[in-house]
Amino acid sequence: MTMTNQQVLLSSRPVGKPTTDNFRLVQAPVPAPQEGQVLVRHHFLSLDPYMRGRMNEGRSYAQPQPLDQVMIGGTVGEVLESRHPAYAAGDQVVGMGGWQLYSVVDGGAAGMLRKVDTRHVPLAAYLGAVGMPGVTAWVGLVDIIDPRSGQTVVVSAASGAVGSAVGQLAKARGCRAVGIAGGADKCAYVRDELGFDDCVDYKAHRDLRSLSAALKQACPDGIDGYFDNVGGLVLDAVMLRMNAFGRIAVCGMISGYNGEPQPMANPALILVSRLKVQGFIVSESMGRWGEALKELGAAVASGRLRYRESVADGLAAAPEAFIGLLEGRNFGKQLVKLI
Amino acid sequence: MTMTNQQVLLSSRPVGKPTTDNFRLVQAPVPAPQEGQVLVRHHFLSLDPYMRGRMNEGRSYAQPQPLDQVMIGGTVGEVLESRHPAYAAGDQVVGMGGWQLYSVVDGGAAGMLRKVDTRHVPLAAYLGAVGMPGVTAWVGLVDIIDPRSGQTVVVSAASGAVGSAVGQLAKARGCRAVGIAGGADKCAYVRDELGFDDCVDYKAHRDLRSLSAALKQACPDGIDGYFDNVGGLVLDAVMLRMNAFGRIAVCGMISGYNGEPQPMANPALILVSRLKVQGFIVSESMGRWGEALKELGAAVASGRLRYRESVADGLAAAPEAFIGLLEGRNFGKQLVKLI
């Protein structure tokens, strides 16, 4: 049996915003798994902001995505054939299969493949609330912000896969949770469906003064923890409202991924307010995944942790969906359905 | 006996750089100490960059210096008369006596007066290496940077009271210590007399690229800890050279005190290099003073911790000396001799 794979390659490095021309859809035969390998049919591909950073050459926290190779990305799917004792055909798995329909994975490679239980948690959730984005939220909140009950936690990109989990995890810890999101629809969702205490629409506040005033109204006791997914003006506005000894977990700087310089307007506030500003990457906290996934899985299974998904249809739609993600056109976790 | 005090008041708030017109020298009678109070004759007044921040109105980490009141400041001196059981005439003390020749202090007020031992440590050192600046260096280095042997620690304003201690304490912990200072004289002092491994002259590197290249040369293994006394361009240049998981202790932003906006050029490096950037104020780490002063006092007494002093003569010289401090004209700890 020869199966045909579809793959999306990075064909050129974007300058500024990516375009569909930076990607190329190709077909290739699916290789037969060798001894110790597992063949996986992908059901969903995850699109995440970190991928933009990987498309650049040069120094970042990870190796650049090589040109003319399959784009990296998280996937969930089903084992079609296994030549590794830990897996069997029919197993549902999460892994880093990339932008393609099938992958052949070394079953023994650490962190590359993990069996998941879909009796109480939908398969796609392992790419979102019970996967890398959920653990990202958990690590930034628990290990860096470390909020106490009664404190105020703010998160940007609040309707997204990471942000929605940050606020709900903060609520579960007795905090006031305030989101920042783009547009009235997303803000209503963050407040009404996710249960945040408030949400500020950054599109209605285009300058520092206006955004900072809106945050003051939403956070009458100031801000003790900020989970930053965007940087730029939003970070500047939040810093003006941080309480003494506030903690800022720096998780993403979306607009910066497109290459614009993004200065921090007033770093002296780090001193004035004795802030801790800390960057982190969830893949470097592997020791925390177990505890995080336990809380996240239980919360999703019981309906306490809610989320939304934007699902693009078919691999060919992935580049356009990714560009939309960077522009905030998605609503919730951005997935690509592959089956 | 009626004694006449001399006092320097803040007569107006500086806009940008302070001038001598912002201060007023006045005479006043010295009040007799009441029950529980102590009369102190000041020998030295300490001038420190934090005083510039206090001269502004508005939000900072401390109350603004009130107008037409004696400028705040650390002092060392001798007890002339005590009506508090913990002190006796002849005791040598460190306190917050302000810009004046005499002060009358409540002997029971926490943190306002402390007896010191001058058998092995000179009195003036209690305003510097064995005082607030030394403890500031210790807390930022030990509690925030937390360096391991073999790591590289960089400090700006390296010839100053805080910076000189940071580098020497880092050397004592097995680190490579690299200073940043203004001018060849200060750099030679930092290297040759204080024993730093290297020192970069920021005046010879006026742009980001040049300063960053000089730091690369001085720090061939990158930078693991940065003790920031200045902010601005120097901070931007250091951030480009920070290793993954580097720690930046934000202690001062001298040029910012004068009101210019001081953006951070590339905060995305906090994420890319997973940095921790933390502001602190030494007076909020009172629980650490005991351990810090023990190490600092022993190191000064044994000659292992070296420092230099710039001494202005007489209270009337204090405003001009303070302005010089903000411009980096001092060399080492800036004091005013009052007796």
Residue of A nearest to B260 (CA): A266
- CB–CB of A272 and B60 under 8 A? yes
CATH number assigned to the domain with residue range B4-128+308-337, chosen from the 4 options 3.40.190.10, 3.50.50.60, 1.10.357.10, 3.90.180.10 = 3.90.180.10
- Render the burial of A72-110: b for 16+ CB within 10 Å, e for the rest: bbbbbbbbbbbebeebeeebbbbbbbbbbbbbbbebeee
- CB–CB of B272 and A59 under 8 A? yes
The answer to whether residue B80 neighbours chain A at the CB level (below 8 Å) is no
**Percentage of residues in chain A with pLDDT exceeding 90?**
86
- CB–CB of A263 and B263 under 8 A? yes
Predicted local confidence at residue A60, as pLDDT: 64
**Which secondary structure element, helix H or strand E, spans residue B324, and what is its range?**
helix B318-326
**Mean pLDDT, rounded, for A234-240:** 97
Predicted local confidence at residue A58, as pLDDT: 73
Residue of A nearest to B278 (CA): A276
Instruction: For residue B250, give the nearest of A231, A261, A271 by CB distance.
Output: A271
Residue of A nearest to B276 (CA): A278
- Measured between beta carbons, the chain A residues lying within 8 angstroms of B249 are none
CB atoms within 10 A of CB A19: 13
pLDDT, tens digit, 9 for 90 and up, residues B164-179: 999 999 999 999 999 9
SS3 B95: strand
Predicted local confidence at residue B285, as pLDDT: 87
Dihedral sign computed on CA atoms, order B212, B216, B219, B221: positive
What's the CATH fold of domain A132-283? Rossmann fold (3.40.50)
Residue of B nearest to A255 (CA): B268
pLDDT, tens digit, 9 for 90 and up, residues B83-95: 999 999 999 999 9
Predicted local confidence at residue A57, as pLDDT: 85
Confidence of residue A324 (pLDDT cuts 50, 70, 90): very high
Instruction: From B334, B286, B307, B297, select the one nearest B139 (Cα to Cα).
Output: B286
Confidence of residue A297 (pLDDT cuts 50, 70, 90): very high
B141, B249 contact by CB (below 8 A):
yes
Total-model pTM:
0.92
Tens-binned pLDDT, residue by residue, of chain B (339 aa):
578 999 999 999 998 889 999 999 999 999 999 999 999 999 999 999 889 989 988 766 678 999 999 999 999 999 999 999 999 999 999 999 999 999 999 998 877 899 999 999 999 999 999 999 999 999 999 999 999 999 999 999 999 999 999 999 999 999 999 999 999 999 999 999 999 999 999 999 999 999 999 999 999 999 999 999 999 999 999 999 999 999 999 998 765 555 666 899 999 999 999 999 999 999 888 899 999 999 999 999 999 999 999 999 999 999 999 999 988 888 989 999 999
pLDDT, tens digit, 9 for 90 and up, residues A5-18: 999 999 999 988 89
Instruction: From A203, A206, A145, A202, select the one nearest A176 (Cα to Cα).
Output: A145
The domain spans of chain B are 4-128+308-337, 132-283
- Indicate the residue type of B137: A
- Measured between beta carbons, the chain B residues lying within 8 angstroms of A239 are none
- Measured between beta carbons, the chain B residues lying within 8 angstroms of A268 are 231, 253, 256, 262
Predicted local confidence at residue B61, as pLDDT: 66
Distances (CA, A) of B134 to A74, A333, B127: 50, 50, 9
Dihedral sign computed on CA atoms, order A305, A310, A316, A322: negative
Distances (CA, A) of B8 to B18, B65, B91, B315: 14, 12, 25, 8
**Which secondary structure element, helix H or strand E, spans residue B243, and what is its range?**
strand B242-250
Predicted local confidence at residue B57, as pLDDT: 85
Residue of B nearest to A257 (CA): B268
Predicted local confidence at residue B66, as pLDDT: 95
B177, B155 contact by CB (below 8 A):
yes
Fold: same for B4-128+308-337 and B132-283: no
ipTM of predicted complex: 0.91
Predicted local confidence at residue B59, as pLDDT: 61
- CB–CB of A250 and B264 under 8 A? no
Q: Nearest CA to CA, how far is B232 from chain A (Å)?
A: 9
Instruction: For residue B272, give the nearest of A61, A265, A272 by CB distance.
Output: A61
B190, B159 contact by CB (below 8 A):
yes
The answer to whether residue B243 neighbours chain A at the CB level (below 8 Å) is no
Highest mean pLDDT: which range of A77-86, A106-115, B246-255: A77-86
Q: Rg for chain B (alpha carbons), in Å?
A: 20
Please determine, for residue A303, whether its predicted confidence score (pLDDT) is greater than 70.
yes
B145 backbone φψ class: left, alpha, beta (φ>0; ψ -120 to 50): alpha
Q: Nearest CA to CA, how far is A209 from chain B (Å)?
A: 16
Q: Any long-range contacts for B176-180 (C-beta under 8 Å, 24+ apart)? A: B176/B150, B176/B151, B176/B152, B176/B219, B176/B221, B177/B152, B177/B153, B178/B152, B178/B153, B178/B154, B178/B215, B178/B218, B178/B219, B178/B223, B179/B154, B179/B155, B180/B154, B180/B155, B180/B156, B180/B215, B180/B230, B180/B234, B180/B238
Instruction: For residue A274, give the nearest of B61, B235, B253 by CB distance.
Output: B61
The answer to whether residue A265 neighbours chain B at the CB level (below 8 Å) is yes
The answer to whether residue A3 neighbours chain B at the CB level (below 8 Å) is no
Q: Nearest CA to CA, how far is B60 from chain A (Å)?
A: 5
The answer to whether residue A253 neighbours chain B at the CB level (below 8 Å) is yes
- What is the DSSP code string of B130-184? TSHHHHHHHHIIIIII-PPTT-EEEEESTTSHHHHHHHHHHHHTT-EEEEEESSH
- Render the burial of B178-203: b for 16+ CB within 10 Å, e for the rest: bbbbbeeebbebbbeebebbbbbbbe
The answer to whether residue A275 neighbours chain B at the CB level (below 8 Å) is yes
Instruction: For residue A268, give the nearest of B253, B277, B281 by CB distance.
Output: B253
The answer to whether residue B261 neighbours chain A at the CB level (below 8 Å) is yes
Q: Which of A262, A277, A280, A285 to mutate to test the interface with B (most CBs of B within 10 A)?
A: A277
- Measured between beta carbons, the chain A residues lying within 8 angstroms of B222 are none
Instruction: For residue B231, give the nearest of A256, A267, A274 by CB distance.
Output: A267
**Which secondary structure element, helix H or strand E, spans residue B45, and what is its range?**
strand B37-46
* HEC per residue, A215-231: HHHHCCCCEEEEEECCC
Summary mean pLDDT of chain A = 94
Which tokens in the block code for residue B324? 């010089």
Predicted local confidence at residue B92, as pLDDT: 97
Between A and B, how many CB-CB pairs are < 8 A? 103
CATH number assigned to the domain with residue range A4-128+307-337, chosen from the 4 options 3.90.180.10, 3.40.190.10, 3.60.40.10, 3.90.79.10 = 3.90.180.10
Mention every residue, 6+ apart, whose C-beta is less than 8 A from residue A15: A259
